[in-house]
């Protein structure tokens, strides 16, 4: 199969028939063997009933209904698990992503040998309350990741199949898929300017709180991808640093006391009467705890193989 199109959705009953017809038209025009995976992330409207009807009309359409609203990352991850096309394309269901971009995205992956192509909505049809935070978010992500993309959160992306089978996304981490892919060893990451269309049906699911959660997820990805296989490298290093700092302070206090008693005949205050002594003890204790955390992390990493799983309520054509 040439292409798998993954469409995560929630409450998009109005746009689904038009979107699926548009995708099918593009695929038929270019002669692609394809599948469309519609992942219903706990919709409260009639989206699942619409998917079931469309799947009867077109066997290339496949639907998966999640038991509740897990979030976009869960929907994408579910689609990644079942996709079989040699090129996997993700797009939103609100008709703001154009299926007309699919042929060029497919070409960039198959002919230009990219691992991942991320869309860039250079001209957006969004309010300022969304575009300004988005620019800030993209700037911070570029600084953290070193990946020179303008639009990390664009829903329109294309992947080599091996990429989506090698990564896992959860929480709000769908916006950091290029970062996750890079740290998984897929470094051929490119960008394509794509057309952004105004929303035709429904209302946006955007909320400013997503940027707070997104930033926290960026910190999580930065830590997890670098240290999940070697937590002792992080916690052990921190533990040794803190312990040596506390030990050094304690040794300095002991030396100062020894020097005053035997060389200057000045008794001075007892070591235990000085607040810095208790600070040194606290720092040494923190160092020991960091080291133990690293040791426990190594044991958990060695013995744990748990992945994030989501409850599927129903399927159609798959």
Place of tokens 């978010």: 137
Enter the tokens of residue 245.
Answer: 């700092």
Q: Whole-number mean pLDDT of the chain? A: 85
Residues β-bridged to residue 118 = 157, 191
Question: Would you say 115 and 219 are in contact if contact means Cβ atoms under 8 Å apart?
Answer: no
d(CA 11, CA 181): 29
pLDDT single digits (tens) 186-234: 999 999 999 877 766 666 655 555 556 666 666 666 666 566 556 777 7
pLDDT single digits (tens) 23-49: 999 999 999 999 999 999 999 999 999
pTM tops 0.75: no
Which residues, 6+ apart, have CB-to-CB distance to 309 below 8 Å?
none
| Phi, then psi, of 161 in degrees rounded to 5 | -55, -40
| Phi, then psi, of 157 in degrees rounded to 5 | -140, 155
d(CA 51, CA 56): 9
Sheet holding 189-193, edge to edge: 189-193, 116-120, 157-160, 87-90, 3-9, 34-40, 61-66, 312-316
pLDDT single digits (tens) 138-161: 888 888 788 989 988 899 999 999
Length of the chain, please?
A: 318
Give the CATH fold of the 3-227 domain. Spore Coat Polysaccharide Biosynthesis Protein SpsA; Chain A (3.90.550)
């Amino acid at each position: 199969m040439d292409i798998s199109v993954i469409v995560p959705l929630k409450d998009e009953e109005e746009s689904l028939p038009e979107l699926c017809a548009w995708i099918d038209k593009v695929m038929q025009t270019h002669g692609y063997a394809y599948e469309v995976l519609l992942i219903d992330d706990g919709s409260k409207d009639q989206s699942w009933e619409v998917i079931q009807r469309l799947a009867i009309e077109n066997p290339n359409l496949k639907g998966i209904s999640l038991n509740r609203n897990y979030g976009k990352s869960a929907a994408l991850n579910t689609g990644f698990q079942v996709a079989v096309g040699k090129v996997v394309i993700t797009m939103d269901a609100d008709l703001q992503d154009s299926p007309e971009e699919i042929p060029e995205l497919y070409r960039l992956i198959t002919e230009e040998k990219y691992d991942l192509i991320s869309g860039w909505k250079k001209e957006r049809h969004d309010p300022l309350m969304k575009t300004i935070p988005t620019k800030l978010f993209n700037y911070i992500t570029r600084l953290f990741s070193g990946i020179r993309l303008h639009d990390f959160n664009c829903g329109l992306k294309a992947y080599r199949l091996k990429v989506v089978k090698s990564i896992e996304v959860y929480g709000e981490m769908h916006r950091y898929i290029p970062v996750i892919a890079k740290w998984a060893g897929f470094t051929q990451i490119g960008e394509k300017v794509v057309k952004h269309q105004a929303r035709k049906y429904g209302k946006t699911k955007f909320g400013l709180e997503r940027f707070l959660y997104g930033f926290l997820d960026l910190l999580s990805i930065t830590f997890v991808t670098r240290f999940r296989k070697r937590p002792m490298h992080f916690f052990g290093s921190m533990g040794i640093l803190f312990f040596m700092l506390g030990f050094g302070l304690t040794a300095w206090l002991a030396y100062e006391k020894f020097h005053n008693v035997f060389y200057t005949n000045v008794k001075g205050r007892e070591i235990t009467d000085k607040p810095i002594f208790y600070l040194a003890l606290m720092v040494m204790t923190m160092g020991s705890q960091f080291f133990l955390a690293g040791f426990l992390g190594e044991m958990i990493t060695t013995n744990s193989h748990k992945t994030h799983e989501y409850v599927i309520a129903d399927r159609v054509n798959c």
